[in-house]
Structure 1
Amino acid sequence: MAARPPGGDDDDEPPETLAFGISALDARLSEADVAFPATAREVVEGLDNPDIPYDTAGHTLALSTALQETDHREFESETELKEALHPVYERKRRAAGGSIVGQLRRLLPF
């Protein structure tokens, strides 16, 4: 997922987006040297175990931790990796949004 950050007064530059969850992972994968099929360990080592943001507030979860929460230890393709990790990051995003702070953020316009 991705979201636009709050806008400023500078209309000359195109708006930036904040990638989180699988979108953030996808950006890292496109820059990494990971060949599939790959084990979870090979993926973590190939990406240097990045902290992947899972919401617009900037909360992160280490890739190695997310992979431990899946039932997979090997991935035949990048798509299989992303499909296995999507529910993990989505659960974290929903849990963070259910907190008192998350509820307040949704109510306030900033």
Structure 2
Amino acid sequence: MGVRPPQQDGSDADHIEFGIAALEPHLDDRIDYPATAEEVVQAVGDVQVSYDASGGTVALSEVLEKTPKRRFESKRDLLDALHPVFEEYRAAASNSLVGRLRGLLPF
């Protein structure tokens, strides 16, 4: 997923990537599929991945622990398994008091 940040100066700002869109660049050509969750973390490292537009992050190993799958047949299979977990993190953050306050601020 990705969203554009608020535009204040009229210039074309880059979009902010989070969830599987933020993770995908770390996965390119680094993993031989099929791969286990442990092999994925070994190949790319335990990177911090943004799960919302406010900058919240979570470790890849933590997201993988919450997936019901332990083995992924392809990159698409991995991303499909991780997507609902990132959505849970995003929803939990937006429901928190801090998340709601961040949503009200223009920056």
| Same topology, TM > 0.5 | yes
Aligned residues: 107
TM-score, length basis structure 2: 0.89
* Amino acid across the alignment from 2:7: G
TM-score, length basis structure 1: 0.87
Provide the rounded CA distance (Å) in 2 between the counterparts of 1:53 and 1:101: 16
What 5-or-longer segments of structure 2 have no aligned partner? none
In the alignment, is residue 51 of structure 1 matched against residue 48 of structure 2?
A: yes
Aligned residue for 1:85?
A: 82
Of residues 18, 21, 24, the one that matches 1:23 is 21
Matches within 5 A, 1:22-41: 22-30=20-28, 32-41=29-38
Structure 1 residue matching 2:88: 3-state secondary structure? helix
Spell out structure 1 runs of 4+ moving beyond 4 A. none
Provide the rounded CA distance (Å) in 2 between the counterparts of 1:45 and 1:99: 32
What 5-or-longer segments of structure 1 have no aligned partner? none
CA shift, 1:10, in A, is 6.5
Structure 2 residue matching 1:28: 3-state secondary structure? helix
Give aligned-pair identity as a percent: 47
Provide the rounded CA distance (Å) in 2 between the counterparts of 1:83 and 1:55: 17
* Amino acid across the alignment from 1:38: A
